[in-house]
Structure 1
Amino acid sequence: MKKFLSILFTLTLFITSQSDAQFKDYVVKGGIQYNQLMPFSEYKAAYSYTARAYLAFELSRLLAIEIGGGFGQYKTEDDFNTYSTVTSDKNYVKSDIIPIDARLRVSPGNSKNWNPYFYGGIGLMKYVTKELPVNSNVPDYFEKASGWTAFIPLGIGTEVRMSNNIMLDISGGVSYPFTDLLNNFVLGEWEDASANLSLGLTFAGSDDCDTDLDKDGLTKCREEQLGTNPNIADTDGDGLLDGEEVNTYMTNPLNRDTDGDTLSDGDEVKRHNTNPLNKDTDNDGLMDNEEVNTYLTIPTDSDTDDDGLTDGDEVKVHRTDPKVADTDLGTIGDGVEVGRGTNPLDPSDDLPPAPVEEPIKVGQVITLEGINFETNSSDISSYAEDVLERAYGYMRDNPDLEVEISGHTDSRGSRNHNMGLSERRAESVKAWFVAKGISPSRITTVGYGPDQPVDSNDTEEGRFKNRRIDFKRTK
């Protein structure tokens, strides 16, 4: 045991721990183990061991089948039976054992330096008793036992990276055989089981070209072609795995800022949703980093404030704020101002110029739309007053203006009646202006009855239009 541990320790000192063991992605790997046994039987445990060799075949990154076999000694001291002759020799029972087993190994971990696992299996064991106590009258000792038995191995362990293809294997477990004859003595239902503590070396027998030790999505050979580090998942430290850069985003895994906009590829993809291959993702004339760090605009929206101007034009051409639709806080957006030629930085030009009203010419007739009357009525409606207010404002602002107000009717009723009705309608409108302060001398009235229709009197709509008031400037 001590000699074996010394050899193992010496090997460890000569093997660098900086390279990558093939925990997974191997074709086949094998190893040797020394197992220190602790027998569980009717007798007191004595020095027992097995030496075991094995081959492991990977089924998946989680599972492997391990086939192994070995040779060892199952040794106990008979402290149960009594002897007639007392000697200085201890009453040992020694049996040679040859275990052969198949195990399913489960490796749930994904560490670069450790590969924890647990195992369970089934096997066959050849046992042959080689030594029995002397001077014994125990009936079981009259004949040395031998035979085959099934057994179940269970345990846990871990592999520790030592070099590119060599691993230190440490494990512990139990072995339960289906016989009580390993110590050549049967007592009740007791079975001769054992616990074990194992130490060994595992050798990976694969071509590591297709391995991915840093779990970045690229094989070792592919990383060597690209120049990336097969031991570091993110060679350029930009926040993206090398495999993501090569296979998904098409960025340079050796350059943390592929497009040169000073934002790392990882920040562009994960924080800003920008294109790590285009320094101006939204093509607005500003680089992504300028939008993110300087102007605080949205690097994926060419017009952050939706004013019709790109962020780049606002900053570089018009000097407007790309985050505010109306930089001068007037009433017109920056895009409209630029389009119509006003200054988006000057609020005073935001209001449109007042329309220039052309003066009413002498003799010009204007029909006041909305001054209509019910049949056989000269009463002014509230809606008509709203229309007259605008006419009143014009007469108030032009004190030299004089007008003729003419009333009109439709063709229903007698002409004489309609002539009087139209005159009353004109007088009703004049009275309204006079009541508002307009001098009566500026207004004359006349009634034309049905003589000047503007539409057909055959329809209700036409007759309604004919019941109206016209203004005509006389001075």
Structure 2
Amino acid sequence: MKHLLTTAAAFGLALLSAVPEAQAQSADKKTGISLYGSGLQYIGDLGTGAYKYNRIGYGGGVTISRYITPGIDIGLAGNYGILKYTGKNGTAHDGVGFEADATTINIPIKLKLNNGWALKEDAVIAPYLLIAPGVLIASSDHYQPERRLVDNVNYKAFDLHGAAGVAFQFSPGFAVFVQTGIHQQFGTDMIDGVSGGHKDRYLQHSAGITINLGKAKDTDMDGVPDRKDKCPDTPAGVAVDEAGCPLDGDKDGVPDYQDKCPTEAGTAALEGCPDRDNDGVRDSEDECPDQAGTAALKGCPDADGDGVADKNDTCPNTPAGTQVDATGCPIVLDKDGDGVLDNVDKCPGTPTGVPVDSTGCPIIDPAIRSLEKPITFETNSTVIRKSSYPTLNKMVQALKDHPELSIRISGHADSRGTDEYNQGLSERRAESGKKFFVGRQIDPARITTEGFGESQPAAPNTTKAGMAKNRRAEFKFEFYIPSQPQP
């Protein structure tokens, strides 16, 4: 038996050297059909020397197995063989012998060592252990010397087959294997026609082939089974690697089929294209690939933000917000047509035909300007004195007579108190003036208020008279341009 196993293993290793890769019966190909031939060696009352030629029989069989887990296969095996003993061994039983037709039907449970722990499941060499309970159905002819038939016995018995073997898987669908084991019967001891001594049993040495059947599930049909596919949703027709993921020739994380620059490493944001200056514009479209710029200017910088790339900007330091021409230089316009260019026009929305001064602001009638007289307040007070009513009423009437005008009220304070307090006090004094005008039906939209605290004194704050002049509100008529049409 040792010689047989050594020869079979050497044969398997010789075949294996010509095969680049192998894979055992697996979850992809779950059903295996094995065909094999066997040498059978009787052991019992007539002889216990397992290697004697006069007790070697022969047989064969078929096994259908099913993958259950990486470590277990279960199947159904049928074996037929001839067991014999010729009696030509020079013992006391010389001339005595038998020949038996033996059929076994077993349920092999294979314990695979390529289970992912001891060896990888797709290991080339896949050793295993096997235990197979079943039944023996046999018919024995027993002989006395000179081959005289003594009797014929038919019997059935419980059979337990234990074995060890190794498979050499040459492809996912084909393997060869060698296996050796022993069949032990229970319930009969009449294979050799002698009972009461050594229990009858026999060795079975087998060599054969296994064909694995089945088709791995491959949802995206890329040729890589789902259980190995790390990218199971690859679009149809896309070339993939061994892991089932789309090819990425430049290794930038963007698959070749989505990569607009498949031979240059780039970024996913730019569909796999490079961007040396990291300005978000791919190098192939960047007119300034080594200077960070903007997409609107094809990747070129614009230091003064006027919309003209620096390389084309004749006036590179134009102030923000200035309208420029194609060369980046300011465009001098007079949009309101008042004769004052926009770059110096302090009132750029003046309606056509309204006379303006040198700043572009409408000219107010001097008679109306003469009504712009300040009013004063008591210390720490925002209450308008009744003595100021005549002055204020004249300004109210001017606003009613001239709807094109608005008025600006500026509040002030003397130097007593903190800056913060005086600022708030000046703002409240301006608001008091506004309330006066609003109370006389002047649209609040035509009234602007502001406070200057103690920052703009009308007289020194060194005397009571000076401080009295500084506790004031001043008024200035302006041309009114409503944001919406007035009722």
TM-score category by the smaller chain?
0.3 to 0.5
Q: What TM-score results when the alignment is normalised by the length of structure 2? A: 0.47
Q: What TM-score results when the alignment is normalised by the length of structure 1? A: 0.47
User: In proportion to residue count, which structure has more helix?
Assistant: 1
